[in-house]
Amino acid sequence: MVVFPPADLDLIPQRACHDIDKEVEFFNLALEAVRKDMSELSSTLETRLRPEERELFAVYLRMLDDDALGKEVIERIRQGQWAQGSLAEVAKDHVRAFETMKDPYLRERAADIKDLCSRVLFHLQNRNVTKTEYPNDTILVGEELTAAMLAEVPKEKLLGLVSVKGSGNSHVAILARTMGIPTTMGVVDLPYRQLDGRELIVDGYNGQVYSNPSDQLRNRYREVIKEEEQLVRGLEGLIDLPCETLDSHRMNLWVNTGLMSDVVRSLDHGAEGIGLFRTEVPFLLSERFPSEQEQTAIYREQLAAFSPKPVTMRTLDIGGDKALPYFPIEEENPFLGWRGIRVTLDHPEIFISQVRAMIRASEGLDNLQIMLPMVSNTQEVTGSIQIIKRAYRELREEGLEVRMPPIGVMIEVPAAVYQTRTLSRLVDFISVGSNDLTQYLLAVDRNNPRVASLYSSFHPSVLQALRYVVEQAHLENKPVSICGEMAGDPGGAVLLMAMGYDVLSMNATTLLKVKAVIRSLTFSAAKQLLEQVMTMDDAQMVRSCIDMALYNAGVDRLLRSSRNN
């Protein structure tokens, strides 16, 4: 199913219509509604408009009166295309025709046509408000999939995701990975608008999408699915076993969550704590800022399910590629802009109600930890601690029996790397966000498919930074965890363990694979591997060296279905 954001003519998919007369009727009603809007608008603005602006409304009304445009759309509907698709095609043809005209005045009319057609589209879409029926085995396809689009599909029906924009490090991809849904991102050349209703194979391991697959290809992928299922079943025996190396080095494996369903899966996979609860996920799926009371209920669920195991809640991390529909942030350079802690410190009312909800939710459970995202200086930390302490004091005064939670800082920005020791003195724990740290160290937008091949957490500079952070935090006797995607990559996990990370926090779906790999190696072999890769000067060499080491240790078979096709 091809999905698209509302009122955008450029993103309407082609779709067959079943009831042609009804579709024509929808279209005529939408046209009528725009005609009414236009004449109302022009009469209310009459006294405030300049004559040439008033003329524009007259032109619009004439375009609608003259049935040329409408007639063309109806002809296409009669050929079996739904009204929105027909309108989008007609608009495209006319806009293109006007844009190529020599006369500048006529060229500008292209924008008028686009605007007019967008208005008709708006009414068409508002008329079609009946809830979308998602078929069984839905693969969601879109120009730029969002968390909200994903959330709209009933979970049992959603099989795969394909997004033209974004990369494997985008937040929607991370969310999909958490839910264990095969996903392909950044398929820039895909004629996705023609894929509605087609049979697809989504190979998330190799970033491939096949439409109308042959029987042979279908059978091959059925085998891959079977093999993957066997692999997962084979790992289930590890759920209750400790995560320790052959020479008894114990590693803590925690999980990253966003939704309650992640919590259930995490517990099923034997997770020992939550290293990152992305609190923005429930915010992204809401229609407005959730109240303190609503937040308390959401947080309590996570804390109660994991109690007495620790739950690390990150304060709201919006901005970058995570925009709340009800709190739009328009910026030229969003990843270097108003993100994470910067937003919440500028909006203390959002910050305080969130931490009050967190602390209130922890009453009687006492397993809450609070973590601050996107920190780039010490003032952000001291300012945040003040707010958290204030929330705590208020709640105590209100009579709640709560404890002050441990507070941690995320190291996601190069500036924070070099201040790890200073930051460690201010807080109780450190957690590395390797997704953003990789993006900012390498100057590679994590969301841009064009530069995705340059994005690697195995780049020697990233490895140096990761090792430096552990060493510095340990000098202050503060525990260090890592909650970026690298922790869930079996090879990455081995290196991070060797560096001395105390906790690896990952998606529940990768937890048992990582555990299996760690249990098959010795800590001293992992340290040797680390020493070897730290002398290398290229990310690809590092990756091959790790793959080879896992192969030689015979653990690559645990990852087989991801490598074999």
Binding site for Mg ion (CB under 5 A): 412, 433, 436
CA 564 vs CA 188, 202, 225, 307, 557: distances in Å: 25, 15, 12, 39, 10
Q: State which residue has the least CB distance to ligand PEP.
A: 433
Per CB under 6 A, the list member of 73, 140, 153, 174 interacting with ligand PEP is: 174
Stretch that binds ligand PEP, among 23-31, 128-136, 199-207, 431-439 (CB under 6 A): 431-439
278 versus 513: smaller Cβ distance to ligand PEP: 278
CA 483 vs CA 111, 277, 284: distances in Å: 46, 10, 20
Helix (H, G, I), strand (E, B) or coil at 408: strand
60 versus 501: smaller Cβ distance to Mg ion: 501
Whether residue 171 lies in the annotated active site: yes
Using CB under 6 A as the binding rule, whether residue 412 contacts ligand PEP is answered as yes
Using CB under 6 A as the binding rule, whether residue 276 contacts ligand PEP is answered as yes
Residue 267's DSSP bridge partners are none
Write phi, then psi, for 327 (nearest 5 degrees): -145, 65
Per CB under 6 A, the list member of 295, 315, 420, 435 interacting with ligand PEP is: 435
Please choose which of Mg ion, ligand PEP, none residue 282 contacts, taking the beta carbon within 5 to 8 angstroms, the exact cut-off set by kind.
none
Catalytic residue among 94, 171, 269, 459: 171
Whether residue 249 lies in the annotated active site: no
Please choose which of ligand PEP, Mg ion, none residue 174 contacts, taking the beta carbon within 5 to 8 angstroms, the exact cut-off set by kind.
ligand PEP
CA 170 vs CA 145, 147, 367, 514: distances in Å: 10, 11, 29, 22
- Tell me the closest approach of the beta carbon of residue 92 to Mg ion, in angstroms: 38
Per CB under 6 A, the list member of 279, 362, 434, 457 interacting with ligand PEP is: 434
Per CB under 6 A, the list member of 31, 187, 391, 483 interacting with ligand PEP is: 483
DSSP state of 46: G
Using CB under 6 A as the binding rule, whether residue 556 contacts ligand PEP is answered as no
- CB count, 10 Å around CB of 205? 16
Stretch that binds ligand PEP, among 38-46, 433-441, 457-465, 509-517 (CB under 6 A): 433-441
Please choose which of Mg ion, ligand PEP, none residue 491 contacts, taking the beta carbon within 5 to 8 angstroms, the exact cut-off set by kind.
none
Q: Output the six-digit token pair for 339.
A: 């993100």
Query: Which amino acid type is present at position 529?
Result: L
Write phi, then psi, for 153 (nearest 5 degrees): -85, 130
Instruction: For residue 81, count CB atoms less than 10 angstroms from its CB and return exposed for 0-12, middle for 13-18, buried for 19 or more.
Output: buried
485 versus 556: smaller Cβ distance to ligand PEP: 485
CA 178 vs CA 242, 253, 328, 454, 562: distances in Å: 22, 15, 25, 24, 17
Q: Got the DSSP string for 242-297? A: --B-TT--B-EEEEEESSHHHHHHHHHTT---EEEEETHHHHHTSSSPPPHHHHHH
- Tell me the closest approach of the beta carbon of residue 285 to ligand PEP, in angstroms: 15
Query: Which residues lie near ligand PEP (CB under 6 A)?
Result: 174, 276, 278, 317, 412, 433-436, 483-484
